[in-house]
């Protein structure tokens, strides 16, 4: 059984990087070290642990069963160490430093970006990174500090989550559809999401329409859906903030779907000044934009 003096804890991030990439060279680029150094350190770690962590095949480096267990625990350990160092560091300006926010891109493009100058006017040393990602980034590895998600996520010990508010969706289209009565919506051409997004609340709403509408175009991008609406391809259920800002014709007076906007943050965010500042800014920005986001604001 290896002792604590046998293993160099500085090798944990190297092992985690290789587990994620499966490539010595890619891990080296990510960490800023030579691939040969990583190879040497991995070999030393396996010798100290008396375990084979990786096997190499024609696709790269793959974790062994023992390696998978090591990485599962190593992620948590490394995340806790990073949190400890970050929380204990002293900064000249408590609101200075990087803050990473991940979200579906349209929330950045059609809502949050226009409020960034106000944040920087008050806190000029906060360095925002806005990552438009549909996949869930890791809070344990500090890939994200905050995430804006539509719908409540599953419980995670690394996360604090709270509902910011609602996001409204309404029907939009080319002006030629403007006078279409609700009772005739099902007879019109519609733009829908591709099949892999059929489970979204928006597509479930469309699936419940009677008669079943003709889905003349399927897309996997909201921006493509907006352009298709402009081109007159069909009607579409869009976030109100997009439809209004893109100058599309809103069809019908009511908001058809409301989805929750949830703010996720790392559990340590409440103890670090710049994170508390950004968390408060996100909450205040939603409150100031609530009617627009819910679709209650006036529309063309």
Highest mean pLDDT of the ranges 75-84, 138-147, 151-160, 260-269: 260-269
Residues 136 and 276 in one domain: yes
- pLDDT band at residue 5 using 50, 70 and 90 as cut-offs: low
Tell me if 4 is assigned to some domain: no
Residues 190 and 251 in one domain: yes
Q: Which residues neighbour 209 within 8 Å (Cβ) at sequence distance 6 or greater?
A: 185, 186
Residue 6, pLDDT score: 77
More confident call, 211 vs 267? 211
What mean pLDDT comes out for the span 134-152? 68
Beta strands in the chain (DSSP E): 54-57, 60-63, 97-103, 126-132, 146-150, 159-173, 189-193, 214-219, 236-239, 249-251, 257-266
Name beta bridge partners: 173: 249
Tell me if 160 is assigned to some domain: yes
Residues 268 and 215 in one domain: no
CA 115 distance to own-chain centroid? 19
> Does the pLDDT value for residue 216 go beyond 70?
yes
Tell me if 2 is assigned to some domain: no
Residue 225, pLDDT score: 95
- β-pairing verdict for 60-63 and 97-103: unpaired
Tell me if 172 is assigned to some domain: yes
Chain position carrying tokens 């259920």: 237
- pLDDT band at residue 298 using 50, 70 and 90 as cut-offs: very low
Residues 134 and 202 in one domain: no
Tell me if 201 is assigned to some domain: yes
Give the range among 34-48, 72-86, 159-173 with minimum mean pLDDT. Answer: 72-86
What mean pLDDT comes out for the span 51-57? 92
- pLDDT band at residue 77 using 50, 70 and 90 as cut-offs: confident
Residue 88, pLDDT score: 56
> Does the pLDDT value for residue 300 go beyond 60?
no
Read off the pTM: 0.66
Residues 181 and 247 in one domain: yes
Q: What is the mean pLDDT of the chain?
A: 86
What digits encode the pLDDT tens for the residues 272-282? Answer: 888 999 999 99
Residues 162 and 282 in one domain: yes
Highest mean pLDDT of the ranges 20-24, 79-83, 256-260, 294-298: 256-260
- pLDDT band at residue 137 using 50, 70 and 90 as cut-offs: very low
Residues 238 and 207 in one domain: yes
- pLDDT band at residue 158 using 50, 70 and 90 as cut-offs: low
Chain position carrying tokens 């408590």: 94
Q: Domain end: 33, 66, 88, which one?
A: 88
Q: What is the DSSP letter of 186?
A: G
Residue 280, pLDDT score: 93
Tell me if 51 is assigned to some domain: yes
Residues 102 and 82 in one domain: no
Cα atoms found within 13 Å of the Cα of residue 235, Cβ hemisphere only: 26
CATH number of the domain that residue 138 is part of:
3.40.190.10
> Does the pLDDT value for residue 203 go beyond 50?
yes
Residues 43 and 68 in one domain: yes
What digits encode the pLDDT tens for the residues 175-199? Answer: 999 999 999 999 999 999 999 888 9
Residues 272 and 139 in one domain: yes
Residues 266 and 138 in one domain: yes
> Does the pLDDT value for residue 90 go beyond 60?
no
Tell me if 108 is assigned to some domain: yes
Number of domains observed in the structure of the chain: 3
Tell me if 154 is assigned to some domain: yes
Q: What is the DSSP letter of 108?
A: I
> Does the pLDDT value for residue 139 go beyond 90?
no
Q: Domain end: 40, 67, 88, which one?
A: 88
Residue 142, pLDDT score: 55
CATH number of the domain that residue 81 is part of:
1.10.10.10
Residue 191, pLDDT score: 97
Cβ(119)–Cβ(281) under 8 Å?
Answer: yes
Range of the domain at 82: 9-88
Residue 92, pLDDT score: 39
Residues 251 and 270 in one domain: no
């Amino acid at each position: 059984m290896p002792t604590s003096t046998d293993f160099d804890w500085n090798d944990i991030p190297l092992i985690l990087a290789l587990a994620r990439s499966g490539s010595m060279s890619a891990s080296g680029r990510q960490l800023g070290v030579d691939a040969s150094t990583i190879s040497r350190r991995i070999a030393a770690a396996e010798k100290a642990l008396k375990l084979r962590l990786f096997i190499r095949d024609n696709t790269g480096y793959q974790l062994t069963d023992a390696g998978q267990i090591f990485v599962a625990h190593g992620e948590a350990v490394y995340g806790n160490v990073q949190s400890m160092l970050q929380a204990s560091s002293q900064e000249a300006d408590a609101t200075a430093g990087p803050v990473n926010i991940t979200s579906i891109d349209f929330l950045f493009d059609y809502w949050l970006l226009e409020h960034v100058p106000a944040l920087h006017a008050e806190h000029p040393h906060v360095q925002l990174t806005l990552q438009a990602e549909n996949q869930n980034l890791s809070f344990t590895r500090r890939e994200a500090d905050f995430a804006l998600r539509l719908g409540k996520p599953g419980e995670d010990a690394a996360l604090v989550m709270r509902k910011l508010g609602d996001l409204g969706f309404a029907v939009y289209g080319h002006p030629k559809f403007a006078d279409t009565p609700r009772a005739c919506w099902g007879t019109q051409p519609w733009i829908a999401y591709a099949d892999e997004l059929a489970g979204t609340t928006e597509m479930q709403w469309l699936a419940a329409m009677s008669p079943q509408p003709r889905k003349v175009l399927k897309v996997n991008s909201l921006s493509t859906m907006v352009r298709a609406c402009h081109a007159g391809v069909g009607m579409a259920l869009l976030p109100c903030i997009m439809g209004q800002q893109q100058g599309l014709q809103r069809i019908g007076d009511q908001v058809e779907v409301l989805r929750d906007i949830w703010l996720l943050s790392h559990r340590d965010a409440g103890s670090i000044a710049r994170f508390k500042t950004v968390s408060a800014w996100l909450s205040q920005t939603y409150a100031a934009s609530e009617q627009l986001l819910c679709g209650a604001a006036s529309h063309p």
